[in-house]
Structure formats: structure tokens, C-alpha cells
A and B are shown apart, each in its own frame.
Chain A
């Protein structure tokens, strides 16, 4: 393949720019990782930069022994996997009809949904609604109110709308109803966007903090975010004169860093798996047929 000189220069500069950006992004993470693997005194006196000093696993062992982080991890997993599945299904149920030109009152529904993105009643009214449904202290209180993120739904609708009409019509000629078009045409061709939105929902559920804090009463059901935030805030919040015991409970920075790393690793592991859906020219074969 002939690659022009102009193109070669472009690719070269591209590689350099991207590498620099990536470096800037990875350094802070290296710092946190190093803090989590360094000795206590080194961490406290600020001697750690991007490589561990006095290599030690004590932060991780204190974290796993001294806190219920394993249980919290599995809670997070459960909340995320089921929540994402439910949200994806419901969002498809919302985006698909709105993407069909013949659907009644499309404009009205869309406007009504965008309205809810902008206006909301606040913490207490929402809590009262959830409570009246008897959902307090169950994970349903986390899943049900989050079934559809209007933002994500609009993105999905946009992806559905972008598909060319010919493919729809081809399927209909084959005898598919609306549902058939959804499952045989629209969904398979929208894999990149679906993967992206699954990632968005997944990350959202994984990181859910306020909702877990407010709706879940049993600490055994807490997820990792709440647990880790509890640890982190004991140092970042304003020193509390009224609480002598608090001083004894300040989590050393090393343990905090270990907690951050444990939280981030699953997220980092998931993205490469989703990248395989970002394949170019998914559409290519379908139109010609």
C-alpha cells in the first residue's frame, strides 16, 4: 500500500502526541500505586513519588484484614452487573421506539424526558418516593430509580437513528415486525454504542456513593465506594475537635491509596474487553445484501 509522505508525517506526530498524553495520564496512577506499596514511614513523610520506597504490602494486608473490603467488593459486583443489565434493557426499550419515525408523540416524549434531566426534586422527595414503595435497604432502591439515564438514552437513540433505512426495509421485506428489526438489525449493528453505554452504566453503578449511603442501611450491603470514602474522608474532612477517637482512626495514606487501587483495577480491566466491539465498518456487509 502506498503511504504518502504527508501521511507518514501525520502518523509520526500522532504517535508522539498520544504517547505524551498517555504519559501524563499514567503518572498520577503510578504515584498512587507506589504509595500503596511503600512503607508507612516513607508514605507519611512524603518521600514517595512514582516508585515505591521501602517496598511493603502492609497497606494491602491492613486493608484486607482490617476492613470488610472483600465483602464490599462482591456487593459492588452484584450491584453493577445486575444494574447494568436492567438499565441496558430498559434503555433499549426507551430508545428504540423513540428512534422509529412512525412512533406517536416522539417529540413530546423526548421533551418530557429531557425535562427530567434538568429538573429534579432533591434528595428528600426522592427518598420519600422510594420509601413509599418499600424499597429502602434493598438493592432495588439502587436499580429501579436508575433504569434509564436520559443522557444515555439519547445517545442510544441517536445511534439507532443513524442506521440507514434500507437495512430496516430489507428486514421488513423478509417478514420481520418491529421487534424483529430490533433484534436482527438494529442491535447487532449498534454494538459500539451499546458497548459504550454498558460501560457508562457500569461505571456509574460501580461508583455509586450517595445512593448506597442513603438507601442502604445494613453496612454488610455497602459497596466499595462507600467503604473507601469512609476511610478517605477521615483525613480530608475538617478536623473534628469533638471526636478524640477520630484521631486514632485516621487511615494512613498508604491504606487509602491501596483502597483506591483496588477500586480502579476492575474498571481498567473491563475497558479492553469492550474495545473489541469498536470495530470499523460493522455495517459494510449488510447493505449490499
Chain B
């Protein structure tokens, strides 16, 4: 009993130590010009999947700076409050709660990894705060409710795009799959590719699995070679894709490799070197796409961060811009109105294509296929979403 009482008394003191950022008055009411609008961002800025979170954060930062420089929302600047959840699911809940309840943000820009987006999304839905995820591709994310939106394609479309490219452009009919059993993204994309490819008349020769980070793929690659495919579909992250490409070449496997948007990173060429030359992957955008939005974005990003913008940065940039566009059109900044405005986004010219938010709150836009040439991803083709 004494322990509980002492513990509680001490708890009260410690909890008082937690002083989150200044929670201003209710942002939904009209405020005098000059009061910044707070938006929240949560992502994994440290930990094993930090690179995606960092890129997304950079993209959002660039968008916010450009928006503020252009005058903001009727003179009111936007301020982004970013919290790192360290690739830890328990912290996702805490930081999203913090953003919503303590910092009182009007909208949340959410995670890369689908499981974390789902966790944060459920809280946002319950609290009535709109959330836009820049790059979570699992369909379950937007199925949470009418506050959750997405500006990238979903895995079923990505699988379809890769399958269509393999079938129609590369004229392949036998493909093997090598997927990461520890990543839901990889397994989901595998399922979607398989479904689409077999529907188009192709055949999957074998499915082999690895655990992300494993260095040795010789067993799986030998099995793949024995099944005699024309290409290998590798729906994993770039870290493993690079290693797989290296080992495949070492084993003498020269057939083309196809991947998904998880391959998109400047490090892919660094890791794999010439082994990845000629490989294809589906992505949100290509840095050398001839559209003016892409050119402008790549230039601005390089100026600000001294680096090449990858797909995550582009989708982060687009998510923020979609939000700003919706804020301009919305009747007010309350959750319902803002969500309605986001849902009404039509033909918004973004870096990653022209975005229209469909009835399922997903973005209806094309995917691009890029090929690694000279250590850089080069634009090859655009795959449009099928008519529905």
C-alpha cells in the first residue's frame, strides 16, 4: 500500500516534468493573422528504417518552407511539429496522442511503414483529425476511416504495374519471386504481383523467402535458378535488393531483376554497384522525368539539402502540398471540413503525378517504371491505373 501511495505521489511529480510544447488556444477558431497553423508529423527518424523517415521529413520541410515563403494561408504561416517514434510501435501511439492532445495540430502527416500508419491512423480517426500518409502502400491503412488519406498508390496497383510492365513491355511469361518474409510490405506486394501476373497469363515459377538483413541468399538463388525463370521479382527494400543483386551476379544469374518502390534510394547503386545495372523497379517518380514539376522539385531539393531527392522525399512533399491545397479550399480548419476538402482533391499537379483522391481515400495516379543505368534510376515507362 505504501508502495502504491509513494509511487503515485512520485508519479504525479514526474508526470509534471513532461512539459510538451506550448499548446496554444484552439486552432479551429479564427485567429488574428500571424498565428502559425500547427501540423504534425510523425516518423522514424532514428532506428533501422530511419532513411525513409528522414527523406520524407526533408520533403515535408521543403514544402512547408516554400508554402510559407509564398505567403502561407492568408498570411498565416504553417509550422510543422515533428516527433520521432524510433521504429517503435508503442511510441507511435504516444507521439500521435501528443500531437493531437498537447500540440493540438490540425492535421497529421504520417508514417512510411504501414503497421505504424495503421496504429497512428486509428488514433487520428478516433480524435477526428485528418491524417495523410505519404508512402504507406498497404490497403488497410485508408480502410480505417474517413479521416485517413494517402497520396501514393497502394500495393495492389503497384503489383499490377510491375506485372503489366513485365508482361507487356518486357514480354516475360515466367517470373520467380524472392520476397522478405519479415516485412508485411514485401508479402503484400508479392501477393498483388502474383495475382496480377497470373491474371495476365503469366506464370510464377517459384516463390522464395528470405529474412531482411540476412547476408546469404545462395540457397534461395539456387532454387530460383533451378526453376528457370525469365526474370526475378524482388519486392523488398533496397538494402536487401542490393545484396541480392550482388550475389545473383556472383552465382552467374544474369536474368533481369524487377522491384518495387522499396528499392528507391541513392544507396542502392552504392551497395550493388554494377550488379544492379539494368534492373527495373516501380516507383512514385523518377528524378529525370521530363515534367516541369519534377524538374523544379529536384532542383529545389538539391539546393536545400545538397542531395538527390528520392521517392520518399517526393511523396512527403506531395502529401504536404495536398494538405496545403486542401487547407486553402476548406471551409474551416476543423477536422471534418479539412477532411472533406482533402477528399475533394481533383487533378492536383504534384511531383509524383496528377493526384485525384478517390472514394477509398487513395490517390488515383500512375506509377512509373525506372531502370538503373549508370548508377541512377532513369525513367522508362508510365503505367496508368486500370479503368474502373
A in complex with B = no
B residues at A contact (CB < 8 Å): none
A residues at B contact (CB < 8 Å): none
